[in-house]
Structure 1
């Protein structure tokens, strides 16, 4: 934090210099103004105009165009006009160049105080403290999870209104089995950030498992509130799928899990739900490859010349896309290099978006990619393969060969 405040001080130096700069130039400005006023030509011009008009009046009197009374009257009017112009051009004396200089240090102090108070109110000092704690714990080989939780709890006591503190504590409490503390962290987050669907879903899931996978009235109320705000909330749909599965309502479980997968951006969680779908299909007397929905059966393998290029646990993504490339991925399945060669079936259960399913098209383009980074986006060094124009139909025939045979440049 010392470095941060030093940086703030360096940023304030130019601002303070701008406050002092006018005072440093005040003497030169005062001298220039005095010279200008001393060389003011307005009065001389007014006198010259007066004399020309007076000469005109005298010439008119000599020609007999006006009498003496009219001459005296017009001359008096000229003199009054000259007097008025002279009075209007009179300026108050200039103040000394150093007048008001005490306001400058007061303004400088006010600038510093206001800046510090504004940062205290609107800045992210608390978040920086959280980041520093996390970095310190990660850099310490002897640090432990309880130590990190303890230090974050200290920050929660210091800054109870910072949602990032509770957002950091919640998963640590949950993964440590401290359900009551995790519940308290989520409840505090709801108070600070409002009753957003994902927070309601996390709290409903936490209380559902804490109650022994029972849909209590409290959990049901949270579920209803979350689905009213977001009917496709994946966490809630995944939990409701578990509830339906354990009640032997396998069709409902499959439907809810497929809807949950469509809204998920976590490949591992999506794969877990796909495994649940396959288990539900087996309970219904079906096999995962004969679910009744149109699909594609594919045999994924690695070209011999690329063997050993990446580790066996490298993630492999098999993606089906429409031929025109206008829709989101129609199906995505994940495996690893160590499991190749393997036969996979892609169907509507592997869809990533509600409006983009394999059953909606007749032919697809298959792309397989071994991702060294584990991310869905391609990166140089990844391995990939492609297969064009694969027909979508009953996924019970011979699998289509899909070979990883090139390197992403």
Structure 2
């Protein structure tokens, strides 16, 4: 046995507890020694106990505080199942949404879904009145676990929808995000900029005039779009005080802000925050914007875009700084963990994606979409599932479960329909 190292069967005890037990043993022995007649053999055994106890007492006192901390290991963390993902536009948010969907499906979690299509009403702040169902689907639990579709951040209403959730969002540099939004949603058509050599450059010459002249449903994304999604009102686009206060509040309310430019690093931070496994953050990119929807970017044009999107610039700069602080807090293993994740991610991608095929100008000409390999795994299939398909699949499943749970109500509904038809026929006769 090495000097200064307690026997293996003693290491599970904290030093303070060990000293207390040892002292108690010594006292107990002395009481026995002086209150009973001991045979010589028993006396020798008693002396041996005292010697071992004193040795242990000395060793225990030599243990420093770091040994005590090492011995008192922390309990393992619990995976997070309460999630609100504030899905911003053109930031890799659909790719992120998909991996959150996959996690929820694999763990039978309940989703808070929009009533209509895959988006909540983005012109207004989120409210529970926008939900497809006001309660979780039968059999999934008493509360919603996940809300991840496009909506405008409204903390009080979200807390009532998914209680005790971790709040996640993703940001992209305002210049590349703005150019991507402008091209992907084909604003040149709505703003009547067809025929211009660089429609984006033309727009930035008189953006306010064009937005006022041609009001569009997605115009809210053509100035400070990320801030708008995070609950910011456009009437404060030029108000530095409100911009700063909004960012300060978001800094306190959001648990993690991912960055598109550092996507793998972001997912590693997500895994750490959520206590997930590497398999939970594997992803399939949701296509690449078609070349005919991309625009040349000069330094002068980039500066105009930054000035026009001042609130988004301030937002991105702030959370860029906090992002790297979180990387530092992760610890010295960040680099090696990132390498391991990227190796696993490459294996997953290669196993799912047919690199010899690419659907050009898919989804209305907006994307060059990846193609899944034939006979791929179930994880590949649900990782390829886009938000719209997932949305309608979940709505259908919720309706089916409701029918199975309440067959009488469904029968009465059909009976009411038949009665209304009969009454209508009677009136027509």
TM-score bucket (shorter structure): under 0.3
More contact order relative to length (CA 8 Å, sep ≥ 6): 2
TM-score by length of 2: 0.21
Instruction: From the two aligned structures, give the one with the greater strand fraction.
Output: 1
TM-score by length of 1: 0.22
